[in-house]
């Protein structure tokens, strides 16, 4: 069995790192957890282009916040007030994640996840709109009831 080190993981392509992470997660073993911990500690789970995969813990936390009752209500409320749905959850994400929100494609993932939640709630995307001043995300989708 291979002993994974930071250097060995760094030498892998982003695609192979993502596969290694996925396999470590699904293994459910202490060795798998050690790989996950090593990759997260050294920020080695970044995809080609700088983004994080959907199963990265930061993206998972973003999804939990957005899919929570409070997150869904905030997104819908923002839409009914004429703002992008993201305007409702952006402050929640910023408060929960601090500096981890805004880099590594996290705002893009948040937008994707908000779009899923809004579609599930019966809304359709009609256009993009600028986010309110002070938001981490700069533009986001605007949704209207079907």
Tens of pLDDT, residues 104-129: 689 999 999 999 999 999 999 999 99
pTM confidence score: 0.73
Q: Same domain, yes or no, for 63 and 121?
A: yes
Q: Same domain, yes or no, for 100 and 33?
A: no
pLDDT of residue 49: 59
pLDDT of residue 3: 87
Instruction: Say whether 128 sits in a helix, a strand or coil.
Output: strand
Q: Same domain, yes or no, for 134 and 74?
A: yes
Q: Same domain, yes or no, for 82 and 24?
A: no
At residue 55 the predicted structure's pLDDT band, cuts being 50, 70 and 90, is confident
Residue 82's domain spans which residues?
57-145
- Across the chain, mean pLDDT equals 90
Q: Same domain, yes or no, for 68 and 128?
A: yes
Q: Same domain, yes or no, for 12 and 69?
A: no
Q: Same domain, yes or no, for 63 and 134?
A: yes
In the predicted structure, residue 48 carries a pLDDT above the cut 70: no
Q: Same domain, yes or no, for 78 and 12?
A: no
């Amino acid at each position: 069995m291979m002993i994974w080190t930071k250097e060995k993981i760094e030498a892998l392509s982003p695609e192979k790192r993502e596969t290694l992470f996925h396999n470590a997660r699904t293994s459910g073993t202490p060795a798998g957890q050690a790989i996950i911990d090593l990759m997260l500690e050294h920020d080695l789970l970044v995809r080609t282009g700088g983004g994080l995969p959907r199963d990265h813990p930061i993206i998972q936390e973003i999804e939990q916040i957005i899919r929570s009752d409070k997150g869904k209500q905030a997104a819908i409320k923002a839409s009914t007030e004429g703002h992008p749905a993201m305007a409702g959850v952006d402050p929640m994400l910023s408060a929960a994640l601090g500096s981890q929100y805004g880099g590594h494609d996290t705002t893009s993932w948040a937008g994707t996840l908000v779009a899923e939640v809004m579609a599930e709630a019966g809304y359709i995307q009609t256009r993009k709109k600028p986010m309110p001043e002070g938001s981490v995300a700069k533009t986001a989708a605007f949704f209207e009831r079907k």
